Amino acid sequence: MRACIDIGGTKVAASLNDGQGLDLRARQAEPTAKEGDPGALARQAIRLVEAACDQAGVAPDAITQVGVSSCGPFVLREGAVELAAPNICGGIAGPARGLPNDWTSAPLEAPLRARFARVQVANDGIAALQAERRWGALQGLSHCAYVTWSTGIGMGLCVDGQVLRGKNGNAGHGGHMFVSDNQDALCGCGNVGDVEGLVAGNAIARRFGLDAATLLRRAAEGDGPARAEAEGLARVLGRALYNLAVTLDLERIAVGGSVFWHHRGLLLPLLQAQLDGRLPALTQGCAIVPAGLGERVGDYAALALLD
């Protein structure tokens, strides 16, 4: 029995897999722990795994492997991953970001390894890329990327069949590329004017006074000002996708995440428009597609890390 943990800026989910195919059992989820001491997040993840075991009638000691797909960035402390995630750790950008803690990092791998025998942790963009390459919209491709448009902006990158990881497992944090001087775009990392600070789900609410779902619903219904804002958001992320395509010479980019997924009919053509016709030698043949695993990509991302 294996446990799959998906840690995001909005929620933490844990589910079980018996090693016989893709079936995920006994899923438990809660809003991400952001109060108390920095160890609260790891304790929450362990508790959710144990609750999933209880739901399935499985002893927690039966868990042989744990896969963790988590938002980042990561820092390494004595060789173990801690999260320095801007949407979880309020001490990075300070009180102006509005998070209810002063954490600059949160331990993750060490507490999990103290509880479970085998633990594999990866950035959620990288893990989701691996899941999409195994079971989703990127199967059979050697030059591709996965991008999540959700609470934050995450990316996983693959060139020449090699998944890029970087020195601390942080490759793909393109959401923190500087693209603007907008002073209303404070990212949780402390940057003002990066991609995430401009278009992530939490940024939309801060910048426009409407949650992403309401703004994008109004845009899809034909509200003129909302449509203009939606086009502006897609322009920012679409240009980031263009930058990936021309830098890495990609053939496909799969996009997931709650902001995109629930409004993909509106957003997908707006994103693709930022590639089409621009420097065809590099962009022609590069398609932007919805994630093949849909809303479950985070759960399958954790599973993709396990043997």
Q: How far apart are CA 13 and CA 111, in angstroms?
A: 17
Count: domains in the chain:
2
What's the mean pLDDT in 68-85?
96
Same domain as 277, residue 161? yes
Q: How far apart are CA 119 and CA 185, in angstroms?
A: 36
Confidence of residue 25 (pLDDT cuts 50, 70, 90): confident
Q: How far apart are CA 137 and CA 245, in angstroms?
A: 17
Distances (CA, A) of 265 to 119, 270, 275, 290: 37, 9, 17, 10
What's the mean pLDDT in 129-148?
98
* Helix or strand (DSSP H, E) at 46: helix 40-56
Same domain as 141, residue 10? no
Confidence of residue 113 (pLDDT cuts 50, 70, 90): very high
- Is residue 150 within 8 A of residue 257, CB to CB? The reply is yes
Q: Is the pTM of this model over 0.85?
A: yes
Same domain as 251, residue 184? yes
- Whether 35 is in a domain gets the answer yes
- Whether 141 is in a domain gets the answer yes
Same domain as 161, residue 116? no
Same domain as 69, residue 108? yes
Residue 180 corresponds to which amino acid?
S
Residue 192: give the domain boundaries. 137-291
- Whether 113 is in a domain gets the answer yes
Same domain as 186, residue 40? no
Same domain as 141, residue 115? no
Same domain as 101, residue 152? no
Distances (CA, A) of 105 to 77, 87, 188, 217: 10, 11, 13, 35
